[in-house]
A and B are shown apart, each in its own frame.
Chain A
């Protein structure tokens, strides 16, 4: 498979997201413009201008009409995907780190970083159907018990009943999305030992995978409802991004040596590989090399036939799998 190199960003990639139909790919980077690409051939469709800081995360609504982005300029913005116009801007006193639309796209969860006196928080916003009616008030604000540590990602649980969060304190938490009560915390024995960098849900919300910088640099698979650790994938390098194939029982981990240390060693020393693992057997089945820096973002096309990776090097690499891939037997 020959990857399509998508060069549109000037700074390291931070996040990648496909829409539900799998024909659009949204990319976020530390430059200020989230970009929309054709997921098939990698052509650039357009950009969303308006942010004034690194864009950390985005999410697209089920009907592919709305985009929400979270940025270091202390705002989260709603966009009209068709026109690229900004519809609304939620202002925070600190950078917005992650965004996630709820089922039905009527709610969104936005996390903010610890900044000055502010602690890291999870905000739930109501998304109005008509942008004219949009208000900036939060429905619910959750404070992390370990507020000085950044929350890196928060996503909705099944049926919008819960919110799952993970961050620098290496603990996964499940919150009640109605009352804001903390329901569960991951067991420190079995869980991560260092910053949780990424968290990705399965297509049916039943389980999710987390990647971490911890000692064993592993990614773990968890049950969404009970927070039971199901599988662990050990990669030997810090993990920045994780994704699961919607089609086959594969997971893919990306990461590598810390970006600040890259220039000091041989480029191969960094292990900037997207590593594929068998989801059930936890065995490594292969790797895709190519990035000239750590991988910061990974996403599978919902059809499971292609995936894309975004690196510190500013490139998005779009890979369409060869037929061999679908016949891997281990």
Chain B
């Protein structure tokens, strides 16, 4: 009810608000007088567990029935038994007696200090044989009601009829094979179809305040996760986004999915009240489908981050790195001198213990296999070399290792299908004053995992960015000095050289500082973000040619759609102006722009891997012409329709405008005389103006079309 309504109602009833203390009003419980509370529906069905306060009491049955004389003795026996299992509260043992005869009734209540003790006592003494005819039957007091209500006769549990779930993958069956994307701007979160044919987006679902911080797709695109004060929630479904599951975790800050989206990891950290203490971290692992919490980890931030520079303040996310491909079998955590690898079957450590690796600073999973790569920096001032090693999980066998000397830092890059591992090594020069970089390239799938060393043509070049071609054998490096570094392409495989890394070419002096390969390979965007103001170069690596150079001014984010057909570039609210996103075709043609103020996030909905076999894909690629005919025809139809619609729209707008103008004109005419009076009878200037306007429209412009020089002979 709006405040105005309330006020007017109050006035009718003669109530003076200033006299009313709202807090003194108590509604009867369960009665809301038809006024819906704002938070109704929010966690409405949460099964809150109320603590009855009786959790630490147990009931011991089947005690001997003793007369008053023996009461104390029995009491002492019981105390003796149960004092071993926990602390009985003062006067915590109570054995009822028959009020008439003073004979015990054969049971007693024992109150422990804690529910844990009570639980323990129950488990330990249930079935305890005091003597032959007295076997203890111990129950929790809280369970009593439940046990009393057990029906005498067994009832077969009812099987619930099977309710088919929604098709969570329905978006993949879109007729036009479009992709979805989610954007956040202002308070709104929207899921949209990218419709390049219509040169626009088509809304799917929009909600204000859908999330309290950010949203994230699951790796296969099935779920959209939102973050709230109470925890995380996943959304999905066939037509609209409905809430599928919730995961309770107060003040969750970050989330991460396992690659096969079976598990969701949530993270929460709390700043310590004393700034010298480390902040508290709580991490929970949930089963996505059932919502069950599989394991939680608590501790100080130190345990979840490595002591890198600046790594102390918070954990580096994701704390748990998932390995073993899409099966979600293992996840690993790096902490000081140890790598803890957990398996999801038991959610315990493999072999029940962590791996000890002294001074390890970085670990990285192969994206497809359960192989873990790790990096240990130099120790003892160069006496102990730095090391990069590959470890097989779960056997923990070291497959390969390489020692490296005078190393300042290492970065590991796995190729997306796990075939190669590139390690960028920064080495000190002899003077130790500066560093230079090189690569160690591991061929994982070949026998004995050969390692190849690659140095850039100019050894002293700084490496600005590195990126593997997804599913391919090539990689791109931006190297050299800002502001105009070079971009080089290398391949791990060539027809002539077979298993040797070969340079494909170098592009000189590019304004680029980031690389974005198309998910299907072959195409790459060389982007100049930040200082370069959003320079974009769309490059075809097969042909080694530039397809387009353009600019999305001040672009902050670039993301390919999962099929590699379109690219979205966005200006997020780190800049004040021209927030929004632009969609391009893979070859750099601008398709459409969407301006949204306070634009925060854009994310394409990922797609699961294609079911087509590589042979089939190849066949399609070969006969692309045949297949594309149909789509081209459709494209044409749509564009015709669009231009038709556009024309109609323009016509309508024009007509509407004409109407306004006519209206104004007639009014103007009516008021002509009055205007003249206001001007002391001076003829109003419309007539002149009209003529002037006409005159203007008739002006002819002389354009010089061509000038030829002819020599006139006299």
Q: Is the CB of A303 within 8 A of B692?
A: yes
Q: Is the CB of B693 within 8 A of A268?
A: no
Q: Give bound CA distance, A124 to B42, whole Å.
A: 57
Q: Give bound CA distance, A104 to B650, whole Å.
A: 38
Chief secondary structure at chain A's binding surface? loop
Question: A236 within 8 Å of B by Cβ?
Answer: yes
Nearest CB on A from B200, distance (A): 14
Closest to A304 in B: B696
Interface residues of A in 142-194 (CB under 8 A from B): 158-160
- Which residues does chain A contribute within 8 Å of B692, judged by CB atoms? 303
Q: Give bound CA distance, A279 to B664, whole Å.
A: 16
Question: A80 within 8 Å of B by Cβ?
Answer: no
Q: Is the CB of A323 within 8 A of B533?
A: no
Question: A62 within 8 Å of B by Cβ?
Answer: yes
Nearest CB on B from A170, distance (A): 15
Question: B575 within 8 Å of A by Cβ?
Answer: yes
- Which residues does chain A contribute within 8 Å of B553, judged by CB atoms? 268-269
Question: A326 within 8 Å of B by Cβ?
Answer: yes
Question: A203 within 8 Å of B by Cβ?
Answer: yes
- Which residues does chain B contribute within 8 Å of A99, judged by CB atoms? none
Q: Give bound CA distance, A203 to B579, whole Å.
A: 34
Contact with B along A176-218 (1 / 0, CB 8 A): 0000000000000000000000000001101100000001110
Interface centre among B650, B678, B701, B703 (most CB of A within 10 A): B678
Q: Is the CB of A271 within 8 A of B701?
A: no
Contact with B along A82-109 (1 / 0, CB 8 A): 0000000000000000000011101000
Question: B440 within 8 Å of A by Cβ?
Answer: no
- Which residues does chain B contribute within 8 Å of A259, judged by CB atoms? none
- Which residues does chain A contribute within 8 Å of B654, judged by CB atoms? 280
Given contacts A223-B660, A237-B578, A304-B696, contact A281 B667 (CB under 8 A): no
Q: Is the CB of A266 within 8 A of B533?
A: yes
Question: A243 within 8 Å of B by Cβ?
Answer: no
Nearest CB on B from A154, distance (A): 18
- B-side interface residues, number (CB < 8 Å): 34
Question: A4 within 8 Å of B by Cβ?
Answer: no
Given contacts A216-B597, A281-B650, contact A204 B664 (CB under 8 A): yes
Q: Give bound CA distance, A256 to B554, whole Å.
A: 15
Q: Is the CB of B650 within 8 A of A271?
A: no
Nearest CB on B from A83, distance (A): 24
Closest to A305 in B: B696
Q: Give bound CA distance, A167 to B627, whole Å.
A: 60
Question: A234 within 8 Å of B by Cβ?
Answer: yes
- Which residues does chain A contribute within 8 Å of B554, judged by CB atoms? 269
Q: Is the CB of B671 within 8 A of A280?
A: no
Q: Is the CB of B580 within 8 A of A103?
A: no
Question: A247 within 8 Å of B by Cβ?
Answer: yes
Question: B674 within 8 Å of A by Cβ?
Answer: yes
Q: Give bound CA distance, A238 to B703, whole Å.
A: 38
- Which residues does chain A contribute within 8 Å of B675, judged by CB atoms? 103, 159
Question: A257 within 8 Å of B by Cβ?
Answer: yes
Contact with A along B418-456 (1 / 0, CB 8 A): 000000000000000000000000000000000000000
Q: Which of A103, A215, A269 contacts B597 (CB 8 A)?
A: A215
Q: Is the CB of B578 within 8 A of A271?
A: yes
Q: Is the CB of B653 within 8 A of A236?
A: no
- Which residues does chain B contribute within 8 Å of A266, judged by CB atoms? 533
Q: Is the CB of A323 within 8 A of B701?
A: yes
Q: Is the CB of A230 within 8 A of B660?
A: yes
Q: Give bound CA distance, A249 to B578, whole Å.
A: 25
Question: A116 within 8 Å of B by Cβ?
Answer: no
Question: A328 within 8 Å of B by Cβ?
Answer: no
Interface residues of A in 255-302 (CB under 8 A from B): 257, 261, 266, 268-269, 271, 279-281
Question: B500 within 8 Å of A by Cβ?
Answer: no
Q: Is the CB of B678 within 8 A of A271?
A: no
Closest to A257 in B: B577
Given contacts A159-B678, A236-B577, A271-B578, contact A204 B533 (CB under 8 A): no
Q: Is the CB of B657 within 8 A of A234?
A: no
Interface residues of B in 541-564 (CB under 8 A from A): 553-554
- Which residues does chain A contribute within 8 Å of B229, judged by CB atoms? none
Residues of B participating in the A interface, judged by any CB pair closer than 8 Å = 533, 553-554, 575-580, 595, 597-598, 650, 653-654, 657, 660, 664, 667-668, 671, 674-675, 678-680, 685-686, 689, 692-693, 696, 701, 703
**Besides A158-B671, A204-B668, A280-B654, 9 other A-B contacts (C-beta < 8 A):** A104-B678, A159-B671, A206-B667, A238-B577, A249-B657, A269-B577, A281-B650, A303-B692, A323-B701
